Amino acid sequence: MSILIIQLPARTRPGVTPSAGDPASAVGGEREFAYVLSADGMSVARQGRAAANLLPRADTVVAVMAETDVSWHQLTVPKAPASRMRAALASMLEDAVLDDPDDIHLAVAPQSKVGEPTWVAVMNHAWLTGQLMALEKAKIRVERVVPAMVPDDPPVAYFSEQHGGESVDAEGALHMLVTWSSPEGVSSWPAAGAMSRALLPEPLPVHARCFASPAVAAPAERWLGHSVTVLTPAEHALHAARSLWNLLQFELTPRSKGLHAINDQWRAFLSPQWRPARVGLVVLAVAQVLGLNLWAWQQKHLVQQKKAAMVALLKDTHPQITAVLDAPVQMQRETEALRAAAGQPGDNDLEALMGALASAWPQDKPTGGLQYDGTSLSVMPPAGWNQPDLDGLRDRLSAAGYSVDIVEGRIVMRRPGRG
């Protein structure tokens, strides 16, 4: 299942002039987006920059917001209905954010519960909506928007080129942006200035990890005082896309209908998060197929054993039979032949049928006539018999193992399955 990860360009701040060489923030031209294409969500298959209408197509599209475009606030999830949750969160953050509550977009951490502390991501609503509309216009349907970094443990320090403005100062030094992520939140600031180093904990936590993009790896090591792990922007975006976060909440929640909804569900099922479920279903299906095959083999073996037992019984009882074609039929035929040779009446012989009929026939009701065709006995019912009388006779003969039918006004009785 292919995944297209689009890096949304950092929002331009007032007073910052976009770099002329930055294609993502070009003025007067078509905006370009940095992208990463992955076949499995774990490795980079292709990366580059392209205008929205030239971006490669994929099964799933995820957009990543820059570190500087998301602010983080921790609060207790209020008890409010889903339709009022956004308004309740905005009122709780009214004193913590500078923008008007109607100008911001909010997103709550995944698996948040009412009454428990959680993280709320805050970003500019108009800017995010504009980015999504630009991609939607190019028929790029974004299913998830994730932050580049989230509050998490272990702490992470990530060094990258500073967004916006000139990337190199007058002395040729590369501008760096430091992003520090920890369970206490996420903060980003320029590495320039004497006080910037003091914003990091001193000393750094033992389990903290430090990463840097290739362009600033060497300056980051000098600034930090120890080695860092090189992490390309593509790898950084790929790691962010594996987050459980989705900033498309409340009024930006994707709403799919018809085939789009079915496709979304199918793509979600094919996503890496559902891989254990897919493996489980395959294992279950294989187990079912193997179980059915084993059961079928056991049933076939049991049938073969029963057929062999019938053949052995036939040959033991009638040794004169050399070729066995249908053991039950041949057994019945030979048994009937022995019975007839011994002068014993069969189940459908006239004597047996007459005896069974006499035991069930009313004493004071003479029959109007009898007819025997070799396998069944037909009797004319007495005059004046009605349906209850016929049903009573049928019940008595059925209890003795005979079937009774009414054919053209005559009572026809026989022993079923016998010949």
Q: Which of 127-131, 138-142, 398-402 has the lowest mean pLDDT?
A: 398-402
Q: Does residue 170 surpass a pLDDT of 50?
A: no
Segment 131-160 shows an average pLDDT of 93
pTM of the predicted model over 0.85 = no
Model pLDDT, residue 371: 79
302-327 confidence digits (pLDDT tens): 999 998 888 888 888 888 887 888 88
The Cα–Cα gap between 33 and 24 comes to 6
In this structure, of 17-21, 111-115, 267-271, the range with the lowest mean pLDDT score is: 17-21
pLDDT confidence of residue 27 = 38
| Cα–Cα distance measured from residue 348 to residue 377, given in angstroms and rounded to the nearest whole number | 8
Give tens-digit pLDDT for 200-258.
Answer: 988 899 999 999 999 999 999 999 888 999 999 999 999 999 999 999 999 888 765 44
Q: Does residue 16 or residue 93 have the better pLDDT?
A: 93
Q: Report the range of poorest mean pLDDT among 112-121, 221-230, 381-390.
A: 381-390
Per-residue pLDDT band at 35 (split at 50, 70, 90):
very high
pLDDT at 95 over 80: yes
pLDDT at 28: 40
Condensed to tens digits (0 to 9), the pLDDT of residues 343-360 reads 666 666 777 777 777 877
* Listed ranges 47-56, 354-363, 388-397, 407-416; the one with the highest mean pLDDT: 47-56
Residue-level pLDDT at 85: 92
Share of the chain above pLDDT 90, in %: 43
- Does 130 have pLDDT greater than 80? yes
Q: Determine the pLDDT at residue 299.
A: 93
Which positions ≥6 away from 270 have C-beta within 8 Å?
1, 59, 278
Residue 175, pLDDT score: 79
The mean of the pLDDT values for the chain is: 83
The pLDDT score that the predictor gives to residue 23 is 47
